[in-house]
Amino acid sequence: MFGSGISEVIATTRGDKVNAAPMGVVNRDFLYISMYKGSHTFANVKQNGKLVANLVLDPQLYVKAAFDDLESSCFDCFDGVPVLKAAYAWVEFTCAVFDERAQKNAIVRLHPIRSRIIDRPIIPVNRGFNAVLEATIHATRYNALREPKYLKLIDYYGSIVKRCGGKQELHAFTLLTTYLAELDGDKG
Ligand SMILES: Cc1cc2nc3c(=O)[nH]c(=O)nc-3n(C[C@H](O)[C@H](O)[C@H](O)COP(=O)(O)O)c2cc1C
Protein backbone atom coordinates (compact mmCIF):
# COMPACT_ATOMS: atom_id res chain seq x y z
CA MET A 1 0.00 0.00 0.00
CA PHE A 2 2.91 2.39 0.66
CA GLY A 3 5.09 3.41 -2.26
CA SER A 4 8.79 4.00 -1.72
CA GLY A 5 9.58 7.39 -0.23
CA ILE A 6 7.22 9.09 2.20
CA SER A 7 3.41 8.70 2.20
CA GLU A 8 1.38 11.21 4.19
CA VAL A 9 -1.31 9.65 6.38
CA ILE A 10 -3.33 10.49 9.46
CA ALA A 11 -2.10 8.25 12.26
CA THR A 12 -4.65 7.17 14.85
CA THR A 13 -3.50 5.82 18.20
CA ARG A 14 -5.00 4.93 21.52
CA GLY A 15 -3.49 5.74 24.92
CA ASP A 16 -5.39 7.36 27.75
CA LYS A 17 -7.20 9.12 24.89
CA VAL A 18 -7.73 8.36 21.21
CA ASN A 19 -5.57 10.63 19.05
CA ALA A 20 -5.21 11.53 15.39
CA ALA A 21 -2.30 13.39 13.78
CA PRO A 22 -0.77 13.66 10.30
CA MET A 23 2.45 11.65 10.00
CA GLY A 24 4.73 10.58 7.13
CA VAL A 25 5.21 6.84 6.65
CA VAL A 26 8.71 6.32 5.28
CA ASN A 27 9.31 3.31 3.05
CA ARG A 28 13.07 2.92 2.61
CA ASP A 29 14.15 -0.70 3.10
CA PHE A 30 11.64 -0.88 5.94
CA LEU A 31 8.59 1.08 7.09
CA TYR A 32 8.95 3.70 9.81
CA ILE A 33 7.88 7.10 11.06
CA SER A 34 10.38 9.64 12.33
CA MET A 35 8.27 10.82 15.25
CA TYR A 36 8.61 13.93 17.42
CA LYS A 37 8.94 12.68 20.96
CA GLY A 38 6.79 15.51 22.33
CA SER A 39 3.73 14.41 20.33
CA HIS A 40 0.64 12.71 21.73
CA THR A 41 1.06 10.12 18.98
CA PHE A 42 4.46 9.15 20.36
CA ALA A 43 3.13 8.97 23.92
CA ASN A 44 0.34 6.64 22.76
CA VAL A 45 2.69 4.47 20.71
CA LYS A 46 4.96 4.11 23.72
CA GLN A 47 1.96 3.23 25.87
CA ASN A 48 0.34 0.54 23.72
CA GLY A 49 2.66 -0.13 20.79
CA LYS A 50 0.08 0.23 18.03
CA LEU A 51 -0.71 2.74 15.29
CA VAL A 52 -3.17 2.87 12.40
CA ALA A 53 -2.16 4.69 9.20
CA ASN A 54 -5.34 6.12 7.64
CA LEU A 55 -5.31 7.10 3.97
CA VAL A 56 -7.46 10.20 3.74
CA LEU A 57 -8.28 12.69 0.98
CA ASP A 58 -9.99 15.40 3.03
CA PRO A 59 -7.51 18.32 3.33
CA GLN A 60 -9.42 19.88 6.25
CA LEU A 61 -8.96 16.73 8.29
CA TYR A 62 -5.15 16.99 7.96
CA VAL A 63 -5.25 20.61 9.16
CA LYS A 64 -7.63 19.82 12.03
CA ALA A 65 -5.72 16.71 13.13
CA ALA A 66 -2.45 18.70 13.13
CA PHE A 67 -3.77 21.49 15.39
CA ASP A 68 -6.76 20.18 17.27
CA ASP A 69 -8.53 17.12 18.63
CA LEU A 70 -10.89 15.47 16.15
CA GLU A 71 -14.46 14.97 17.41
CA SER A 72 -15.28 11.43 18.53
CA SER A 73 -17.77 11.25 15.62
CA CYS A 74 -14.74 11.17 13.23
CA PHE A 75 -13.63 7.78 14.60
CA ASP A 76 -14.81 4.23 14.10
CA CYS A 77 -13.72 1.44 16.38
CA PHE A 78 -12.56 -1.73 14.65
CA ASP A 79 -11.97 -4.55 17.19
CA GLY A 80 -10.95 -1.91 19.74
CA VAL A 81 -8.70 -0.12 17.24
CA PRO A 82 -9.42 3.55 16.37
CA VAL A 83 -9.74 4.21 12.63
CA LEU A 84 -11.03 7.28 10.79
CA LYS A 85 -14.44 7.17 9.14
CA ALA A 86 -12.99 9.33 6.35
CA ALA A 87 -10.27 6.76 5.49
CA TYR A 88 -10.55 5.07 2.10
CA ALA A 89 -8.05 2.51 3.39
CA TRP A 90 -6.11 1.88 6.57
CA VAL A 91 -3.29 -0.29 7.86
CA GLU A 92 -2.83 -1.31 11.48
CA PHE A 93 0.75 -1.67 12.72
CA THR A 94 2.57 -2.84 15.77
CA CYS A 95 5.38 -0.44 16.56
CA ALA A 96 8.97 -0.88 17.72
CA VAL A 97 10.42 2.32 19.15
CA PHE A 98 14.09 3.19 18.64
CA ASP A 99 14.70 6.15 20.88
CA GLU A 100 18.17 7.74 20.83
CA ARG A 101 18.41 9.90 23.93
CA ALA A 102 19.83 13.08 22.38
CA GLN A 103 17.48 13.15 19.39
CA LYS A 104 14.20 15.12 19.23
CA ASN A 105 12.64 12.43 17.05
CA ALA A 106 12.43 8.69 17.60
CA ILE A 107 12.32 6.11 14.84
CA VAL A 108 9.11 4.13 15.12
CA ARG A 109 9.42 1.01 13.04
CA LEU A 110 6.11 -0.26 11.68
CA HIS A 111 5.08 -3.90 11.29
CA PRO A 112 1.75 -4.38 9.49
CA ILE A 113 -0.85 -6.58 11.19
CA ARG A 114 -3.93 -6.07 9.03
CA SER A 115 -5.45 -3.63 6.59
CA ARG A 116 -8.78 -2.68 5.01
CA ILE A 117 -9.47 -1.12 1.64
CA ILE A 118 -12.87 0.56 1.84
CA ASP A 119 -12.79 2.36 -1.49
CA ARG A 120 -10.48 2.81 -4.46
CA PRO A 121 -10.94 6.47 -5.36
CA ILE A 122 -9.55 7.88 -8.58
CA ILE A 123 -7.19 10.60 -7.41
CA PRO A 124 -5.99 13.09 -10.05
CA VAL A 125 -2.94 14.98 -8.76
CA ASN A 126 -4.02 18.35 -7.38
CA ARG A 127 -1.31 20.85 -6.49
CA GLY A 128 -3.74 22.66 -4.22
CA PHE A 129 -4.19 19.56 -2.05
CA ASN A 130 -0.45 18.96 -1.88
CA ALA A 131 0.10 22.65 -1.06
CA VAL A 132 -2.33 22.39 1.89
CA LEU A 133 -0.17 19.57 3.27
CA GLU A 134 3.03 21.58 2.74
CA ALA A 135 1.54 24.68 4.37
CA THR A 136 0.30 22.58 7.31
CA ILE A 137 3.71 20.98 7.85
CA HIS A 138 5.31 24.44 7.91
CA ALA A 139 2.60 25.62 10.29
CA THR A 140 3.42 22.78 12.73
CA ARG A 141 7.09 23.82 12.51
CA TYR A 142 6.11 27.44 13.13
CA ASN A 143 4.09 26.26 16.13
CA ALA A 144 7.16 24.50 17.54
CA LEU A 145 9.87 27.02 16.64
CA ARG A 146 8.14 30.37 15.92
CA GLU A 147 10.62 31.16 13.13
CA PRO A 148 9.24 33.76 10.63
CA LYS A 149 10.67 31.83 7.64
CA TYR A 150 7.82 29.32 8.11
CA LEU A 151 5.22 32.07 7.74
CA LYS A 152 6.75 33.00 4.36
CA LEU A 153 6.57 29.37 3.24
CA ILE A 154 2.95 29.13 4.40
CA ASP A 155 2.12 32.24 2.32
CA TYR A 156 3.83 30.76 -0.69
CA TYR A 157 1.95 27.44 -0.46
CA GLY A 158 -1.22 29.41 0.25
CA SER A 159 -0.84 31.11 -3.13
CA ILE A 160 -0.74 27.67 -4.77
CA VAL A 161 -3.81 26.56 -2.80
CA LYS A 162 -5.66 29.65 -4.09
CA ARG A 163 -4.57 29.03 -7.68
CA CYS A 164 -4.95 25.24 -7.90
CA GLY A 165 -7.20 24.13 -5.03
CA GLY A 166 -10.92 23.44 -5.03
CA LYS A 167 -13.43 24.41 -2.34
CA GLN A 168 -12.17 21.83 0.15
CA GLU A 169 -8.56 23.01 -0.18
CA LEU A 170 -9.59 26.67 0.17
CA HIS A 171 -11.59 25.85 3.31
CA ALA A 172 -8.66 23.87 4.68
CA PHE A 173 -6.28 26.77 4.13
CA THR A 174 -8.71 29.21 5.76
CA LEU A 175 -8.91 26.86 8.76
CA LEU A 176 -5.10 26.77 8.89
CA THR A 177 -4.92 30.58 8.96
CA THR A 178 -7.42 30.55 11.85
CA TYR A 179 -5.16 28.23 13.86
CA LEU A 180 -2.15 30.41 13.00
CA ALA A 181 -3.95 33.54 14.16
CA GLU A 182 -4.68 31.75 17.47
CA LEU A 183 -0.97 30.94 17.81
CA ASP A 184 -0.03 34.57 17.23
CA GLY A 185 -2.73 35.56 19.73
CA ASP A 186 -0.89 33.36 22.28
CA LYS A 187 2.14 35.68 21.99
CA GLY A 188 0.70 38.42 23.88
C1 LIG B 1 1.43 16.22 6.26
C2 LIG B 1 2.08 16.22 7.61
C3 LIG B 1 3.04 15.25 7.91
C4 LIG B 1 3.64 15.20 9.18
N5 LIG B 1 4.55 14.21 9.44
C6 LIG B 1 5.07 14.11 10.67
C7 LIG B 1 6.00 13.05 10.97
O8 LIG B 1 6.32 12.22 10.13
N9 LIG B 1 6.49 12.98 12.24
C10 LIG B 1 6.12 13.90 13.22
O11 LIG B 1 6.58 13.77 14.36
N12 LIG B 1 5.26 14.91 12.95
C13 LIG B 1 4.74 15.03 11.71
N14 LIG B 1 3.87 16.06 11.43
C15 LIG B 1 3.55 17.04 12.49
C16 LIG B 1 2.48 16.50 13.45
O17 LIG B 1 1.30 16.14 12.77
C18 LIG B 1 2.13 17.60 14.48
O19 LIG B 1 3.27 17.86 15.28
C20 LIG B 1 0.95 17.25 15.34
O21 LIG B 1 0.57 18.38 16.09
C22 LIG B 1 1.21 16.08 16.30
O23 LIG B 1 -0.03 15.84 16.95
P24 LIG B 1 -0.15 14.96 18.27
O25 LIG B 1 0.58 15.68 19.37
O26 LIG B 1 -1.65 14.91 18.50
O27 LIG B 1 0.44 13.62 17.98
C28 LIG B 1 3.28 16.15 10.17
C29 LIG B 1 2.34 17.14 9.85
C30 LIG B 1 1.77 17.19 8.59
C31 LIG B 1 0.76 18.27 8.29
Q: Is the CB of 63 under 6 A from ligand 1?
A: no
| Residue ranges of the chain that CATH labels 2.30.110.10 | 5-117
Q: Which of 152, 151, 160 is nearest to 179 (CA)?
A: 151
Backbone φ and ψ of 70, nearest 5° = -75, 145
CATH architecture of 127-187: Up-down Bundle (1.20)
Q: Is the CB of 22 under 6 A from ligand 1?
A: yes
Please answer whether residues 107 and 32 qualify as being in contact, where contact means their C-beta atoms are separated by less than 8 angstroms: yes
- What CA–CA distances, in Å, run from 45 to 14, 28, 137, 142? 8, 21, 21, 24
Residue nearest to atom 13 of ligand 1 (CA): 23
By most ligand atoms within 8 Å of CB, the mutation choice from 140, 142, 150, 176 for ligand 1 is: 140
Please answer whether residues 45 and 38 qualify as being in contact, where contact means their C-beta atoms are separated by less than 8 angstroms: no
pLDDT tens-digit map of 21-80: 999 999 999 999 999 999 999 999 999 999 999 999 999 999 999 999 999 999 999 998
Instruction: Give the global pTM.
Output: 0.97
pLDDT tens-digit map of 124-134: 999 999 999 99
Q: Is the CB of 115 under 6 A from ligand 1?
A: no
The pLDDT confidence band at residue 102, using thresholds 50, 70 and 90, is confident
| Residue ranges of the chain that CATH labels 1.20.58.290 | 127-187
What percentage of residues in the chain have a pLDDT greater than 70?
A: 98
Which fold does the domain 5-117 belong to in CATH?
Pnp Oxidase; Chain A (2.30.110)
Mean pLDDT, range 146-153, rounded to an integer: 97
